């Protein structure tokens, strides 16, 4: 597991060093257990409602917009002081760290121990947490979690070879991880063409010479009906790939997209892992409407989950999803993994035995679709190349790939 400082240790270290700012990795470490920190978010209402800092132990959060401190500073400071009469620290958060630095300074002048989150939500949004899932003599598996977005990718290493399933943006971070593990990247496996985040798969293929795989049904934009303008190797149902001592089977699981696949990974010790992408999550499953075909694709979701999954994926398989809706879905080790047999019992959205009722439920619980999802799909099949700032804008906020309710 990742080694983290306890919250008290983090705060004590900051106080001892007389520091007025905290970095994202330090804040994340502090929030790995219950804490008495107060998060003060000074962004505007729309940004705050779109996404905020959440972990398995999200602390008390107070939202007071920056302009309130500019227009009625004394009243704003008093509201904060009322919440921290016991002297607990306040971490101030804004978009990029500028407005929060100003507010933190005003609070310190008023006798409040206030710390600015360096880089703000932009840095929080770019933070990746890497944790080992299992480390065996013949293979290792790592979870790579982009915490702010609820996006998860999986790195398998065996016999010096590596595969990345659903690589997230910032491919250089995977390169660094594999250098530390003395492994050569061989396979880049996207379960589908993503709508909520930018894949680094094609970029990593160019950087490393590894092979990038995608199902051909997802190499066509569902709205534009234009073919992909990037290099990829086609996946097909039943295809088998080898990574060191690991065997990987491709299972076509349409519904979230027409080209969605699962990767069923069998290890020499008998363990089985199923990378489900946006097919099946710990507490829900993938929505079918991000290609604009919700009514047509919802029945496919039923056929995939209650047909393909039950027939092709053994109950003892560890499900490795591509997303989570809440950090509470993680286990005690901070891992978003669960055996399929447990999901059948515990995932209430899977308790259907009638296709018509299931489809009705799905279509009645479709959440809002962010308009940028159409553009992100264009990026992920090579139809568009955004600048860094444009990519940041496209990826703002949490993923909304799961069914709501």
Q: Which residues are catalytic?
A: 94
N-terminal to C-terminal alpha carbon distance within the chain? 32
Count the residues in the chain: 405
User: Can you tell me the distance from the alpha carbon of 151 to that of 277, in angstroms, rounded to the nearest whole number?
Assistant: 10
User: Can you tell me the distance from the alpha carbon of 402 to that of 405, in angstroms, rounded to the nearest whole number?
Assistant: 9
Residue 116 pairs in a beta bridge with 21, 92
Query: What is the enclosing helix (H) or strand (E) of 389?
Result: helix 388-394
Q: Which pair of tokens denotes residue 402? A: 């799961």
Parallel/antiparallel/unpaired status of strands 21-22 and 246-252: unpaired
User: Can you tell me the distance from the alpha carbon of 32 to that of 93, in angstroms, rounded to the nearest whole number?
Assistant: 18
Residue 247 pairs in a beta bridge with 242, 266
Q: Which pair of tokens denotes residue 175? A: 């390169």
User: Can you tell me the distance from the alpha carbon of 312 to that of 272, in angstroms, rounded to the nearest whole number?
Assistant: 12
Query: What is the enclosing helix (H) or strand (E) of 152?
Result: strand 151-158
Distance of alpha carbon 266 from its chain centroid, rounded?
A: 24
User: Can you tell me the distance from the alpha carbon of 381 to that of 100, in angstroms, rounded to the nearest whole number?
Assistant: 38
Inter-residue contact 337 to 280 (CB < 8 Å) = no
Distance of alpha carbon 139 from its chain centroid, rounded?
A: 24
**Phi then psi for 359, rounded to 5 degrees?**
-60, -40
Inter-residue contact 2 to 29 (CB < 8 Å) = no
Inter-residue contact 56 to 330 (CB < 8 Å) = yes
Candidates 383, 386, 404; CA nearest to 396 is: 386
How distant, in Å, are the alpha carbons of 32, 126, 145, 373 from that of 395? Answer: 25, 10, 15, 9
User: Can you tell me the distance from the alpha carbon of 254 to that of 319, in angstroms, rounded to the nearest whole number?
Assistant: 17
Query: What is the enclosing helix (H) or strand (E) of 336?
Result: none
**DSSP helix/strand/coil, 28:** helix
């Amino acid at each position: 597991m990742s080694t983290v400082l306890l919250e008290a240790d983090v705060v004590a270290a900051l106080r001892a060093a007389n520091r007025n700012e905290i970095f994202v990795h330090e804040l994340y470490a502090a929030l790995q257990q219950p804490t008495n920190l107060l998060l003060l978010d000074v962004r505007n209402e729309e940004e705050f409602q779109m996404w905020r800092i959440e972990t398995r132990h999200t602390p008390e959060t107070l939202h007071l917009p920056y302009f309130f401190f500019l227009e009625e500073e004394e009243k704003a400071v008093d509201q904060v002081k009322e919440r921290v009469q016991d002297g607990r620290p306040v971490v101030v958060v804004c978009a990029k760290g500028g407005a929060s630095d100003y507010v933190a300074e005003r609070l310190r002048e008023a006798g409040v121990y206030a710390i600015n989150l360096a880089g703000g939500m932009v840095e929080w949004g770019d933070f990746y947490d890497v944790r080992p899932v299992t480390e065996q003599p013949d293979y290792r598996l790592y979870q790579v979690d982009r915490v702010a977005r609820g996006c998860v990718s999986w790195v398998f290493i065996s016999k010096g070879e590596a595969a990345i399933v659903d690589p997230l943006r910032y491919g250089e971070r995977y390169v660094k991880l594999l250098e530390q593990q003395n492994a050569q990247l061989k396979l880049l496996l996207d379960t589908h063409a993503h709508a909520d985040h930018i894949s680094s798969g094609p970029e990593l293929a160019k950087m490393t010479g590894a092979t990038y795989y995608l199902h051909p049904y997802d190499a066509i934009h569902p709205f534009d009906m234009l073919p992909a303008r990037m290099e990829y190797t086609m996946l097909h149902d039943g295809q088998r790939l080898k990574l060191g001592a690991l065997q990987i089977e491709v299972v076509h699981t349409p519904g979230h997209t027409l080209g969605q696949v699962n990767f069923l990974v069998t290890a020499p010790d008998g363990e089985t892992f199923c990378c489900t992408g946006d097919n099946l999550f710990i507490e829900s499953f993938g929505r079918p409407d991000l290609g604009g075909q919700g009514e047509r694709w919802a029945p496919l979701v039923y056929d995939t989950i209650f047909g393909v999954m039950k027939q092709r994926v053994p109950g003892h398989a560890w499900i490795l999803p591509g997303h989570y809706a809440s950090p509470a879905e993680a286990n005690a080790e901070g891992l978003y993994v669960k055996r399929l047999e447990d999901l059948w019992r515990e995932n209430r959205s899977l308790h259907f035995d009638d296709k018509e009722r299931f489809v009705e439920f799905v279509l009645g619980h479709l959440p809002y679709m962010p308009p940028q999802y159409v553009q992100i799909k264009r990026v992920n099949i090579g139809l568009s190349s955004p600048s860094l700032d444009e990519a940041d804008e496209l990826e703002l906020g949490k993923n909304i790939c799961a069914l709501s309710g």
